[in-house]
Structure 1
Amino acid sequence: MSTRVHIPIQYLLWFAYTLPGLALFTCVGLSLVKDFEKSTRTHCNVFNFLPSISASIGDCEPQRYIWRLCFALDSIPRYLIAYMQLMRLLNRHHMGLTELYPFVQIGNSCLHFLELTFLLLLTFVSSNEIKWIHECSFVGFMICSLLHMLLTVLIDYFWPRTAHVRLTDQELATRSKRLRWFLINIFSFFISLYFYFRHNSSCEANIYSMYCLFEYIVVLTNIAYHSVVMDEWDQNNGQIQIFF
């Protein structure tokens, strides 16, 4: 005999996109309070006022376990949301180029699944354990994340529709939000790279902290970008069923 549990989709979405932000603020906050010197130390020993995410979750405890627990709990909902979003997008029958559209959306979703997978590797393999896996996971995460966001924005703005279907006010608002978060994300990423290489070349005080600050913004805007899906899904009737 099975038990059926109905969970409103909005609850799942709030959980999936709130938990990573909560984990970030908790781990960075704990590092500032109890592990300030250890988490802000760099190879050239200049003063910094912020820890990197990698230092917070890889070098300090209990931050390491909090971060891994949060992402372990978050991973299944994120994969599930990515799959449900793909199914929703494939049912948009008003989109033009009907033979090509499914392949493009499936390819874009593959980028999203890879992004989530690289994020898991990045979370559970720290730079202190297997550095090359951690670094490759970070590179893979950023490439897949940026490509997925870019392709989604391009589809939102440029993919043809059937002549009798126009954008609704909700669609205009959601695609505008996606574009805004994507632009902030990519600009923050390149600014963080500037501070990272400047720190490595000149070892100025507080420059690494500026890199860390923009690293936080990259993570938070990535979460904000993906959370735009909350505006698209039915807030009243959308539910998922879980069987026990």
Structure 2
Amino acid sequence: MPSSVHIPVRYLLWFAYSLPGFALFSCVGLSIIKDFEKSTRTHCNVFNFLPSISASIGDCEPQRYIWRLCFALDSIPRYLIAYLQLIRLLNRHHIGLPELYPFVQMSNSIIHFLELTFLLLLTYISSNEIKWIHECSFVGFMICSLVHMLLTVLIDYFWPRTIKYLPSDQERSARSKRLKWFIVNIMSFFISLYFYFRHNSACEANIYSMYCLFEYFVVLTNIAYHSVVMDEWDQQGGQIQIFY
């Protein structure tokens, strides 16, 4: 007969959202310590004090393998969490426009699944291997990430609820955190673009490092945004049953 194990949801969430942060800090830290010159070198050979994520995980070892291993372990939990979150949202009973709401939420979840898929492509196809796929994956990841965050915030704040429903303190806190992380994320992204194009046009010292710094912020605020679901699920508890 099949056996099963029950995993508390909060453990799955901690694993899924701490692993990408560990990958980022370990790969960038190792690049600074052991591959500083190689990872900070640019086409115009000016001094920089930080490596880009692509340089850290594409040109250096063991950073490449750490990054890929972490995201290999992280991918299934992230897809599973996205699916479970969709089911939870579709089961809301206080939502107005019930004919339209499932379509909007499922469309938003598809965008999130595409975001995770583009992230996997970014992870396993470096700019040194197939540059155009890496670049297209980055563009796809950023577009899907920003659109998914924006749609979620708009639904949280503006989708009509039934007249008798009032948001709980926990719901108000979660949507406030999402809005905050979305704003910081999109600001970090546009600031990083400014430094990226300034570096390419003027080749000033340390400007590429400023792009790299805000690139880190984009990744970390993306993780922080998605991890807000931990606040919601911690309140509800629950376990996942896995058969083997």
Q: Which residue of 2 aligns with 1:111?
A: 111
* 2:6 aligned partner: 6
Q: Which residue of 2 aligns with 1:60?
A: 60
Identical pairs, percent? 84
Q: CA distance change for structure 1 residues 235 and 159 in 2, over 3 Å: closer, same or farther? A: closer
* Contact 1:9–1:235 (Cα < 8 Å) also in 2: no
Question: Which letter does structure 1 place at the counterpart of 2:65?
Answer: Y
2:176 & 2:42 partners in 1: Cα distance?
39
Indicate conservation of the 8 Å contact 1:48/1:207, yes or no: yes
Q: Write the deviation string for residues 67-120 of structure 1: whole angstroms up to 9, x where unpaired.
A: 000000000000000000000000001100000000000000000000000000
Q: What is the alpha-carbon distance in structure 2 between the residues aligned to residue 90 and residue 2 of structure 1?
A: 30
What is the CA deviation profile of residues 137-166 of structure 1, one whole-angstrom value per residue up to 9, with x for unaligned ones? 000000000000000000000000000000
| Counterpart AA for 2:229 | V
Deviations 1:154-207 (A, max 9, x none): 000000000000011001100000000000000000000000000000000000
Give the aligned residue type for 1:129. Answer: E
> In the TM superposition, what is the alpha-carbon distance from 1:64 to its structure 2 partner?
0.2
Counterpart position of 1:99 = 99
User: Could you tell me which residue of structure 1 aligns to residue 238 of structure 2?
Assistant: 238
Give the alignment's TM-score, normalised by structure 1.
0.99
Partner of 2:154: 154
Residue pairs, 1:117-196, within 5 angstroms: 117-196=117-196
Residue pair 1:10, 1:235 contacting (<8 A) in 2 also: no
Instruction: Tell me which stretches of 4 or more aligned residues in structure 1 moved more than 3 Å.
Output: 234-237
Return the TM-score normalized by structure 2: 0.99
Query: Aligned pair in 2 of structure 1 residues 235, 171: CA closer, same or farther (>3 Å)?
Result: closer
Deviation at 1:236, TM superposition (A): 6.5
Match of 1:90 in 2: 90
Compute the displacement of 1:237 (Å): 3.4
Contact 1:119-1:137 at 8 Å conserved across structures: yes
Q: Which amino acid aligns with 1:92?
A: R
Please list every run of 5 or more consecutive structure 1 residues that lacks an aligned counterpart in the other structure: none
Alignment-mate amino acid for residue 25 of structure 1? F
Structure 2 residue runs without a partner (length 5+):
none
Q: How many residues align?
A: 244
Contact 2:10–2:237 (CA under 8 A) maintained in structure 1: no
Q: Give the deviation of 1:235 after TM superposition.
A: 4.7
- Equivalent residue letter for 2:135: E
**Alpha-carbon distance in structure 2 between the residues aligned to 1:137 and 1:15:** 24
Q: Name the SS of the counterpart of 2:38 in structure 1.
A: helix
Counterpart of 1:27 in structure 2 is 27
Shift of 1:234: 3.9
CA distance in 2, matches of 1:234, 1:42: 45
How many angstroms does 1:2 deviate by? Answer: 1.3
Aligned-residue RMSD, C-alpha = 0.7
Quote the Cα distance in structure 1 between the aligned partners of 2:32 and 2:227. Answer: 28
**Secondary structure of 1:233's match?**
helix
